[in-house]
Structure 1
Amino acid sequence: MNGYNRLAPFYDRLATVFVGKQLQQAQLALLPYLQQKRKLLILGGGTGWILSHIFKINPTLEIDYVDSAAQMIARARQRAGSNQRIRFIEGTEAAVPDKDYDAVITNFYLDLFTAQDLMVLIGLLRASVANGATWLVTDFEEHTGGQRMKVKLMYYFFWMATGLKTRALPPWYQILINAGLLPVESKSTRSRFIRTVAFQFKIK
């Protein structure tokens, strides 16, 4: 996954070229769910453009920001400036340090996983969150031939650029439902290519 270091300087621009402005708009759609939260885990945070938007919603939120690429972390740190409420962690979901998050964000992160590996991730997160935590997910869905072709091209590009081994989009929404996550609200872009869902972990 270290191939993402090479992409860091132009990653956001590249994403916009692939998908357009709806890529960022979708990630902002359900951020109000963070208003009353205390501690947020972000997996695959990327360059950190979303941080300022999160703190507008909840200025007192504590954030653990996890990304496997050192250059992504460096850009996110630069954007965060002197904010002391963010802990940056270079690593994957295996590096998640705590067990008391009441919110999780995975934006365009679940598409890195096979269906089997996604089940492992769900189990890891379930062990890392507080009772009834919120999980905000934004990712691609395939509804048309054109969308399937675009997803195929994106996987090919990231395989060439980063060595990404996953080659197909997992049915992430259904997998999360089958694993017991409760969908609270769902929003899709006009083309239905990108979907954002607020899930709740079942109250124990």
Structure 2
Amino acid sequence: MTNRKKFSGPPDGGFDRLAWAYDFLAALVFGHSLKTAQAHFLATIPAHSRVLLIGGGAGWLLNQMLVHRPLSRVVYVEASSRMLSLAKRKVQDLKHAPLVEFRWGNETVIGAAERFDVVITPFFLDLFTRQRLQASVMPRLAACLLPGGSWLFTDFVHPPYPFQKYLLWTMYRFFRLVCKIEAQSLPDYPPLFTAFGLQRTASRDFVGRMVVASVWRKE
């Protein structure tokens, strides 16, 4: 028994409304930069790792993992049922597609006894309030990461330039309106990670320091 809860859909499934256009819109605004950031540390994933990828959307990053990394198991968690369907279709013809277990849901569908060598959160944590991150999302993800395991984090961070701040403000207003996300602004991520026993071992900035990709190791 893994003590997993059954997921009943929204509030976290609001990206159903945008699933068909999300990757196109991201590329329209940022080009290939967001994909480059997500993939930057994939090479650090040890061979034959058990990986939890949560919030991976339509499956581009999952495809890259299955093609380029020799993994033993991937649990793919996505709250948008339409995004999940797109991800399944994207990898269904790959040789290693049977390694993937697709789950519709959020952090609550991860069993209390489940453990992973690697956790990946691509542009996921910025959807939640600091309170939700502290109380539910990060405790569950940190608990399922094995000691010595790595958390590959890619997300927007507080940008240094006024036009980036305005872009971020606009993005939050758009996604709150269209996808009903709960967050209104970015949290300060490093204190959240260190509070759960993780230490940053590598980091790289993208999009003029508006996006960061980093590796956090669990002590």
Q: Quick check: TM above 0.5?
A: yes
SS at match of 1:50: helix
In structure 2, stretches of 5+ residues that fail to align are 1-11
1:96 maps to 2:110? yes
SS at match of 1:84: helix
* Partner of residue 20, structure 1: 31
In structure 1, stretches of 5+ residues that fail to align are none
RMSD of aligned Cα (Å): 1.5
SS at match of 2:98: coil
Change (3 A) 1:178 1:131: closer
The CA deviation at 1:37 is: 4.6
Q: Is the 8 A contact 1:34 1:57 kept in 2?
A: no
The CA distance in 1 between the partners of 2:58 and 2:209, in whole Å, is 25
The CA deviation at 1:12 is: 0.4
The CA deviation at 1:33 is: 1.4
The CA distance in 1 between the partners of 2:207 and 2:179, in whole Å, is 30
Change (3 A) 1:10 1:52: same
* Partner of residue 127, structure 1: 143
Q: Is the 8 A contact 2:173 2:184 kept in 1?
A: yes
The CA deviation at 1:132 is: 1.5
The CA distance in 2 between the partners of 1:31 and 1:21, in whole Å, is 16
The CA distance in 2 between the partners of 1:20 and 1:9, in whole Å, is 17
SS at match of 1:76: helix
* Partner of residue 9, structure 2: none
Change (3 A) 1:124 1:55: same
The CA deviation at 1:51 is: 1.8
1:144-203: CA deviations, max 9, x gaps? 22221111100101011111121111111332134431111001115111100000111x
The TM-score normalised by the length of structure 1 is 0.93
The CA distance in 1 between the partners of 2:49 and 2:192, in whole Å, is 27
* Partner of residue 173, structure 2: 156
